Amino acid sequence: MLKPLNDYVVLSYIKEEEKTASGIILTTESKEKESMGKVEAVGPLVENIKKDDKVIFKSYSGTKTSYKGEDYLIIKAENILATYED
């Protein structure tokens, strides 16, 4: 597993719904850029965020990477805006 350093967090992406609750299929234009993820690992300087938290982060922040066939985002903790529960 990836192990972030300092104040970085490793996120996996939470896939957005392809259609609405009423069954309307969303086109690419109507979907926002992915900005929600699940915390996979946190660096030693990160506070208030822990593994398995679901978070909302600033769009266009962080570094995308692949590891063992999975896509991840490595992001500074300061770019995480909120946690949430389903």
Above 50 in pLDDT, residue 31? no
Residue type, 79: N
Read off the pTM: 0.79
Q: Which CATH class is domain 8-16+32-84?
A: mainly beta
DSSP of 18-56: SB-TT-PBPPGGGSPPP-EEEEEEE-TT--S--TT-EEE
Q: Where are the domains of the chain?
A: 8-16+32-84
Above 90 in pLDDT, residue 6? yes
pLDDT for position 30: 40
Above 70 in pLDDT, residue 67? yes
Per-residue confidence band for 86, with pLDDT thresholds at 50, 70 and 90: confident
pLDDT for position 24: 73
